Structure 1
């Protein structure tokens, strides 16, 4: 199958120095490693494909890792750091603890890259490429990814607890967390479409099934058939909290636009997903992407690159870690 490719312009900062003089600084470059590590794309793609062949859930896990890294103080690979040298790992934050996965995939890719081109490719760039390849290998678009990120020298467990969106938050709160990072309301809807793949633990949505808002009743926005199915998967007992349910029960492992169709049918798994139907602007975008998969692929590529450029370190800032888990 030929990849669906969407090209984007580099993300640049335009500074007006003195009229009519304009200085343009491009932070990232699509050709950044073309000479220093020419086999980079092949090595990353092989590592992601190998991981997916063993565990199809890994596509969603890698994409989620990238998002959880970028949304906390920028795309600097801070989520990959373990507790060490004064670092309090973001892995232990509530949104990541016993949830974030795929670290060993990044470690394996990094080890292979260190053999091919030592101390050259940042962990943050590896994570960006791995998430891009995860989308493509799951059936989504191929998104050209600008590179040149450097790795941060710190982590913020407090930032992870505060800044990562929660499935329990109302739409206004979720939107505020996105827009605080320079993302738009449209980006919220588009990037939420990543929930076309992956799973969620029952405790993240179980209140919708039995005691929505303390009412003692299910969430009325859930379709009856979907509700009954979820109540079977997640019975009203503590032992079911860690059971898994697919975010998209129709095409669970395929990256497509069925997620949006599910929302229209009252079959959004997380409350934060179904909440997109409570606002006129977001619900109209949901309808649009449910009807036009090509538009979703196009816009997802744009929003993914936009997200991957949040707060990046370039030039002499940060470092190129030899191990993604430790500072040099």
Structure 2
């Protein structure tokens, strides 16, 4: 949730008239790119632990949404990841953290905490939560006092958690809850984060950057919130990096249980050499033990060919991955929009 959280905070400050400079890892419609230059003293930047450079940052406010082993090409163990985050936390004047993450709760000491569970005793929490197909609403609490109702256009528990981080930052900076809620209510999200790419022949095309098992589970949960009765959720996944696929093979295999059909292609290397230890087909075999509705297509042209033959009206086609899988979406929409085609 790094890109969504940082983009949401930047957008919230922008809507509040604070004119922030924003640097994030995804494109955002509000500023037509991944960065905007502001004229105030506020800078919102997304950073991650992928190469260890996170420890070079010493922000006024640091936000940690969760900690997990996501880059086995750089870290051998979760403990090494925790060490990096602990060093980063020590450099933050104020640390905002989600204590729904066990590692954040037990290994770090956030200055300001947030949680979706009111029983955790966090500084910020929610109640009266309503997850809908068109968004989420919740009553937000600050240290035992009700602040008001928050409305999100974004779907799912993970995005409600991200919005609590934004609330915590906004309140720390002195914003009224009304200003915070107004900004968050109109935030449309970043591109490739459950992004609606279009519809054709009754099929809805969604593009999402999810490439880690926990991200895939969260994205599928959001897709199932949006899907209508009888509508299939078709997950099309391109694994990202051999090292990640090998390390989390079983976790990936268990992540697709809530998809009605899984279409898998081969691994996007992201520059890693293929050592012959794991393949997309190996992952398809592992997934089949938990969800038998899985199909392997070794390359993107075959993925497109399969989808053209097998997608049907009413499907929600969810394209997952950090590689180039999403490049197939425009051609699929164009082809399926042709009058001569019929998808039943």
Do they fold alike, i.e. is TM over 0.5? no
**Greater relative contact order, per chain length (Cα 8 Å cut-off, separation 6+):** 1
The structure whose residues are more often strand, as a share, is 2
Normalized against structure 2, the TM-score is what? 0.28
The structure whose residues are more often helix, as a share, is 1
